[in-house]
Amino acid sequence: MFRPKVILHTVLFILIGSFLYSAQSDAQSKEVINPPQKKFEISFGGGWGLYNMRDINKHYIDELAELGGISCGHINNGPNIFGEVGYFVSPNVSASLGITYLNGASGKGENMFIAYGYENQPADTFLEEGSLTTTLVAPELKVKYHFPFEKTDLFLSGGVAWCFGKCVLKSTLKAQGESVSGKSLFTAQGIGSLASTGAWYNLNKTISLGAEVGFRYFVTGDLKDKDKDGERKVGTTGSFTGYKTNLDFSGPFILGGLRLKL
């Protein structure tokens, strides 16, 4: 059975082992074989990722929103933005601290209905709108093993992240030229891991352009909203209990970016 979490942890273990071995070898070496190299790299860029939002798609979009007559699209993918600073502990191994921002949103749904009054005559027309937006900010610690060539730097990367997730539910009711809006904010945190491979093409000694593909396992705990009524879960309406719902940004991704070596 395919277990992405086990594979990610295995890759991470191998990379950390390479990191420690390379650092120890450099510490024991007394001869300078290669000329001094640049030690720092700063990279940033963006791309696209696929998401496994099973809980949100099922418990909110397919159940709660549909019951209210609002049809929203599923959240399956979204834009990714990243930035990181790395340090080369050897010509082949670097460690970096970075941050990744992920976003996913359902299409805005609408439901129009008519209120009837005296003798079952139409009294007013109401338009209800709803939307859902999910975001995740993940500080990351990564280790990379590099395969440097004259013009190209190939690499394998693995790391861990702390995932700060947020889910915003918005609704608006319009009638007779007036509108009433409401918003609910739910948050959750969790630990994630990731693995990737990519390459940088060196334009000169300082600037490189690159691309990266990989897989993330970014899952938070249950979304919760602490308000004046206590602790609510996504899907809570009236006397309903609600569901245990997390944010799952796990899935493959592709990124492009710019790197500076200093």
Tokens of 15: 């990379």
- Determine the residue type at 114: I
Output the CA–CA distances (angstroms, integers) from residue 4 to 14, 155, 196, 249, in the order listed: 16, 20, 12, 13
Give the pLDDT score at 162.
Answer: 97
Kindly provide the residue ranges of all beta strands, DSSP E only, lying in the chain, ordered along the sequence. Answer: 40-50, 77-88, 93-105, 109-116, 122-148, 152-175, 178-202, 207-217, 219-222, 224-227, 230-233, 246-248, 251-261
Q: Position of tokens 């942890």? A: 9
What one-character DSSP code corresponds to residue 63? I
Give the pLDDT score at 259.
Answer: 97
Whole-angstrom distance, CA of residue 69 vs CA of residue 66: 5
Considering the entire predicted model, what is its pTM? 0.77
What one-character DSSP code corresponds to residue 107? P
Tokens of 7: 């594979």
Give the pLDDT score at 7.
Answer: 52
Other CB atoms within 10 Å distance of the CB of residue 201: 13
Write down the domain spans for the chain.
4-27+40-256
Q: Give the list of residues 6+ apart from residue 24 with CB closer than 8 angstroms, or none.
A: none
Q: What CATH number does the domain located at 4-27+40-256 have?
A: 2.40.160.20
Per-residue pLDDT of the chain (262 residues; tens, 9 = 90+): 445 555 555 555 555 555 555 545 554 444 444 455 789 999 999 999 999 999 888 887 777 666 655 557 889 999 999 999 999 999 999 999 999 999 998 866 555 444 444 555 444 555 567 778 899 999 999 999 999 998 999 999 999 999 999 998 877 776 666 767 778 888 999 999 999 999 999 999 999 999 999 999 999 999 887 664 545 555 544 433 467 889 999 999 999 999 999 9
Whole-angstrom distance, CA of residue 141 vs CA of residue 87: 12
